[in-house]
Amino acid sequence: MANKIRVATTSLAGCFGCHMSFLDIDERMLQLVEVVEFDRSPITDIEHCTNCDIGLIEGGVCNSENVHVLREFRNNCKILVAVGACAINGGLPAMRNHIPLEECLNEAYLDGIGVENPQIPSDIELPLLLNQVHPIHEIVKIDYYLPGCPPSADVFWKFLTDLIEGREPSLPYELVHYD
Amino acid sequence: MRQFIQGIAENSHYQATHLLQILRQIQSRYHYIPEAAIEQLSGLLNIPRTQIIGVVEFYSFFHLAPRGQYELLISDSITDHMLGKKDLFDYLAKKLDVAVGEVREDGVVSLDNTSCTGMCDQGPAGLVNGLALTRLDQSGIDKIAELINQQKPLDEWPEELFQVDDNIYKSGLLLNQQIEQGAALRSAFKRGIKETLKEIDYSGLRGRGGAGFKTAIKWQFCSEEQQTERYVVCNADEGEPGTFKDRVLLNAYADQVFEGMTVCAAIIGAKQGFLYLRGEYLHLYDKLQSILEQRRQNSLLGNNILDTGLDFDIEICLGAGAYICGEESALIESLEGKAGIPRNRPPYPVTQGYLGKPTVVNNVETFLAAAGIAVNGSDWFANIGTEKSKGTKILSISGDCARPGIYEYPFGTTIQTILNDCGADDVLGVQVGGPSGTFISNQEFDRKLAFEDLATGGSFIIFNSSRNILDMVHNFAHFFAHESCGFCTPCRVGTSLLQKQIDKIVEGHGSAGDVVALEELCQLVKNYSHCGLGQTAANPILTTLERYPDLYQSRLKEISFEPGFDLDGALETARRMANRNDAGAHLAQTDASGSRPVASLPPSMAVGE
């Protein structure tokens, strides 16, 4: 099955809610894996991306590791997709953008109620935080955007089946209105 | 303070429509709008405190936190930049020891930018406690800094700091023949009111704000409305950067403008008129009030004007720093004491304007012309100009020319003629109609000033070949992002995104797809915005992109993508706090491992069975 379409997925500064919603395609997953093979993804536990057709990115970019992962995806995926509100706009994590990073870290690690042994974590294994959370299109080129918090299972299904069947993906109004 | 606020509320007859004027007085006295004042006003005017806070937050000249006793604002118009604003601004900040946007620790002075103050022919310009400062230079700034540090009251400052010149270099039909006080009204009553409307109709006069709606039709529609309570409003909120002709008209021809408003009142049957004067022109306020008073004494305003039975008076309302209030329905909202958010149109103001009543809103120059026509007749006006654009247009010319100032031309005059007259050489292009207008290149100077070719509200900014067009576009993009009223998403978010994308390209972070993305964004903002502001906010980009595509492309890097901000710099705070400087604590601006070519459209992915 060498000619299956290769898909990678990851969550950066996200809550995995978009991934959960993706799983809500339910039994259609069986149809999907007929033609799709998952590369790096929480589904497979593969650690690094190799050449893929489609990369689905959930969440925005809040730290240096997010930047590296996003670049790895960009370098390995023909089509890179921003999935959900956080990837598109920064979303909930970007609410910290109005507060200086220094205050956030002080509150969390030095001055906050109940903090024991106050210190700013400095292990070199830990990624450093960016001073603001960014949507992923501000870091790399993005080809498609799937709106929603999270995008519904049907949005994933419509988008992927369009791509797989060689059509320009388009989401009908019913799938992208939220009231 | 309680007594002070009680006093001004009483003078305003506790009318919520006067909220803007009340807040102006509070800001002027306390240099901010204190919470206690809001509470008290809420009770006195019987409106929710949130509504008052909304108004305070909307207008640039109102503040919820204290500003300095000397509130210094420096005009950020492109014309001020061309005159060396940036260096002067830095010098001023250093001299006064105050950061831009901040209040000095002792509370004496605050410093900030403000949108164009309408002094483009005598900049760099600014405002101190609302009063216009002109021709700022290093020695002027030394003087200002000294006066502020000595805490000298403004009325003891030397007059030359506040000197505003008219700079009329070319007069035509209107500026040559100022009518005598009362002449237009006497002619109109003698001829008959209906006949006078016909004269204005035959003259072909169209609105001078830029859109060019036929004046006589507007007045007639209003006069035919069923509701008998009607209003006349003169729009003197000339906020379009590069426009300053209304300032000159109100300084030197105010009587004729008021007379035009009164003729309009006689025609449409209005009892009350308003002059909505932009806050930046505070220096004209007292003079205009005294002219109104004089007109009242001469029976040209008030009850039974010239014994004709016409009752009409004019009130001056000052704005508070909001470009959007130049849009007529936003202006009416502002007159009603609210935030200047444009209404849905239709209904147009002629049917539902001020307080929902039929209202004529016209530009200063339109009323001036109407008064002239009432005296001199329609032929006097209609014999000049082109088929579709009758009469003359008064231009505010600024930028790279020997004689910036006011010029009046018959419609149909070519751009080249205008450039010759004002002494502009080596011209790269002209921004006609301000940021919301059109940029024309030096290949188009045979084009004509006319509604059917180059329509303009009067702004005419000249750029010579030493200028970089992208600096202008950059300045205009910031202007619109600042002035968007925030009501509709395409404009509120769109103008900020345009600003961000232009910054990215100008600062050299742009790459292959960025100009295409910019153009798509322009179309979105243009086509989906609620009012003219958003619909024209992308014009500076679109008109220059059309003429100088290579200029934009030349700023792009030959890589597929680069972030628009300093990625490694964004780690600085975390790096410092974690006391790290290892390789993992840094990020390269672009991906060193190289980017592979990317398929932009879906390749056929159908998997063969």
Domain boundaries, chain A: 5-94+131-174
Which residues in chain A are closer than 8 Å to B584, comparing Cβ atoms?
64, 124, 127-128
CATH for the stretch B70-165:
3.40.30.10
pLDDT interval class at A2 (50, 70, 90): low
Give the pair of three-digit tokens for residue B164: 């505003």
Asked whether the beta carbons of A55 and A80 are under 8 A apart, the reply is: yes
pLDDT interval class at B593 (50, 70, 90): low
So what's the pLDDT on residue B11?
A: 95
pLDDT interval class at A179 (50, 70, 90): confident
Give the pair of three-digit tokens for residue B149: 């540090």
Determine contact: A64 vs chain B, CB below 8 A. Answer: yes
User: What is the arithmetic mean of pLDDT over B518-529?
Assistant: 96
Cα B156 to chain centroid, rounded: 30
Asked whether the beta carbons of A107 and A153 are under 8 A apart, the reply is: no
Give the pairing type, strands B459-464 and B392-399. parallel
User: What is the arithmetic mean of pLDDT over B522-539?
Assistant: 96
CATH for the stretch A5-94+131-174:
3.40.50.700
Q: CA torsion, points B528, B534, B535, B536, in degrees to nearest 10?
A: -150
Asked whether the beta carbons of A92 and B552 are under 8 A apart, the reply is: no
Residue type, A92: L
Which residues in chain A are closer than 8 Å to B578, comparing Cβ atoms?
120-122, 126, 128
SS3 B397: strand
> In chain B, pLDDT over 90 holds for what percent of residues?
92
Report CA-CA distances (Å) from B424 to B78, B254, B414, B550. Answer: 17, 30, 14, 25
Q: State the span(s) of chain B assigned CATH 1.10.10.
A: 2-58
Burial class (CB in 10 A: 0-12, 13-18, 19+), B550: exposed
pLDDT interval class at B594 (50, 70, 90): low
Q: In this model, does residue B572 exceed pLDDT 90?
A: yes
User: What is the arithmetic mean of pLDDT over B431-453?
Assistant: 95
Asked whether the beta carbons of B323 and B457 are under 8 A apart, the reply is: no
* β-sheet with B70-75: strand ranges across: B109-114, B70-75, B126-128, B131-133
> In chain A, pLDDT over 70 holds for what percent of residues?
99
Q: Report how far apart the first and last C-alpha atoms of chain B are (Å, whole number).
A: 84
Place of tokens 């995995």: A16
Q: In this model, does residue B600 exceed pLDDT 50?
A: no
The DSSP H or E segment spanning A72 is: helix A64-76
So what's the pLDDT on residue B335?
A: 97
Kindly determine whether residue A141 and residue B565, on different chains, have CB atoms separated by under 8 Å.
no
Q: In this model, does residue B511 exceed pLDDT 90?
A: no
So what's the pLDDT on residue A3?
A: 83
Cα B572 to chain centroid, rounded: 39
Residue B276, beta-bridge partner list: B235, B317
Looking at the complex, report in whole angstroms how far the Cα of residue B565 sits from the nearest Cα belonging to chain A: 8
Q: What is the DSSP letter of B118?
A: S
Q: In this model, does residue B251 exceed pLDDT 60?
A: yes
Query: Which of B184, B268, B258, B271 has the alpha carbon at shortest distance from B219?
Result: B268
User: What is the arithmetic mean of pLDDT over B468-472?
Assistant: 95
Place of tokens 């953008």: A97
pLDDT interval class at B604 (50, 70, 90): very low
Q: In this model, does residue B89 exceed pLDDT 50?
A: yes
ipTM: 0.89
Q: What is the C-alpha to C-alpha distance for residues B72 and B114, in angstroms, rounded to an integer?
A: 9
Is the link from the previous residue into B349 a cis peptide, with omega within 30 of 0? no
Q: In this model, does residue B595 exceed pLDDT 60?
A: no
- Overall CATH class of domain B392-467: alpha beta
Q: State the span(s) of chain B assigned CATH 3.40.50.11540.
A: 169-382
Q: What is the pLDDT of residues B481-508, one digit of tens each?
A: 999 999 999 999 999 999 999 999 998 8
Q: What is the C-alpha to C-alpha distance for residues B393 and B459, in angstroms, rounded to an integer?
A: 11
Model pTM score: 0.88
Q: What is the pLDDT of residues A55-83, one digit of tens each?
A: 999 999 999 999 999 999 999 999 999 99
Asked whether the beta carbons of B334 and B239 are under 8 A apart, the reply is: no
Which residues in chain B are closer than 8 Å to A131, comparing Cβ atoms?
570-574
Question: Rg of chain A over CA atoms, in angstroms?
Answer: 18
CATH topology of domain B169-382: Rossmann fold (3.40.50)
User: What is the arithmetic mean of pLDDT over B300-307?
Assistant: 96
User: What is the arithmetic mean of pLDDT over B21-49?
Assistant: 97
Which parts of B443-482 are beta strand (E)?
Answer: 459-464
Looking at the complex, report in whole angstroms how far the Cα of residue A88 sits from the nearest Cα belonging to chain B: 13
Q: What is the C-alpha to C-alpha distance for residues B454 and B181, in angstroms, rounded to an integer?
A: 34
Query: What mean pLDDT, rounded, does chain B reach?
Result: 94
Q: What is the pLDDT of residues B112-167, one digit of tens each?
A: 999 999 999 999 999 999 999 999 999 999 999 999 999 999 999 999 999 999 99
Q: In this model, does residue B349 exceed pLDDT 70?
A: yes
Q: What is the C-alpha to C-alpha distance for residues A6 and A27, in angstroms, rounded to an integer?
A: 20
Give the pairing type, strands B310-318 and B302-305. antiparallel
Give the pair of three-digit tokens for residue B106: 């002792």
User: What is the arithmetic mean of pLDDT over B214-220?
Assistant: 97
Q: What is the C-alpha to C-alpha distance for residues B499 and B492, in angstroms, rounded to an integer?
A: 11
Residue type, B436: S
Query: What mean pLDDT, rounded, does chain A reach?
Result: 95
Q: What are the backbone dihedrals phi and psi of residue B317, each rounded to the nearest 5 degrees, phi first? A: -115, 130
Give the pair of three-digit tokens for residue B63: 């503040």
Residue to substitute from B556, B565, B607, interface A, most A β-carbons within 10 A: B607
Q: What is the C-alpha to C-alpha distance for residues B609 and B267, in angstroms, rounded to an integer?
A: 81
Kindly determine whether residue B571 and residue A138, on different chains, have CB atoms separated by under 8 Å.
no
CATH architecture of B470-554: Up-down Bundle (1.20)
pLDDT interval class at B590 (50, 70, 90): confident
Kindly determine whether residue A122 and residue B580, on different chains, have CB atoms separated by under 8 Å.
yes
So what's the pLDDT on residue B560?
A: 78
Which residues in chain B are closer than 8 Å to A127, comparing Cβ atoms?
584
Looking at the complex, report in whole angstroms how far the Cα of residue A42 sits from the nearest Cα belonging to chain B: 24
So what's the pLDDT on residue A178?
A: 83
Give the pair of three-digit tokens for residue A175: 């799938």
Residue type, B288: L
Q: What is the C-alpha to C-alpha distance for residues B141 and B523, in angstroms, rounded to an integer?
A: 43
So what's the pLDDT on residue B592?
A: 67
CB atoms within 10 A of CB B226: 6
So what's the pLDDT on residue B308?
A: 95
CB atoms within 10 A of CB B496: 16
Kindly determine whether residue A164 and residue B600, on different chains, have CB atoms separated by under 8 Å.
no
Residues of B near A (Cβ–Cβ under 8 Å) read: 513, 560-561, 563-565, 567, 570-575, 577-580, 582, 584-585, 587, 591, 593-596, 598-608
Place of tokens 């329609």: B378
Q: What is the C-alpha to C-alpha distance for residues A178 and A149, in angstroms, rounded to an integer?
A: 10
Q: In this model, does residue B596 exceed pLDDT 60?
A: no
User: What is the arithmetic mean of pLDDT over B77-93?
Assistant: 96
Give the pairing type, strands B392-399 and B359-363. unpaired
Q: Report how far apart the first and last C-alpha atoms of chain A are (Å, whole number).
A: 42
Which residues in chain A are closer than 8 Å to B567, comparing Cβ atoms?
67, 130, 139
Which residues in chain A are closer than 8 Å to B608, comparing Cβ atoms?
3
Kindly determine whether residue B573 and residue A101, on different chains, have CB atoms separated by under 8 Å.
yes
CATH topology of domain B2-58: Arc Repressor Mutant, subunit A (1.10.10)
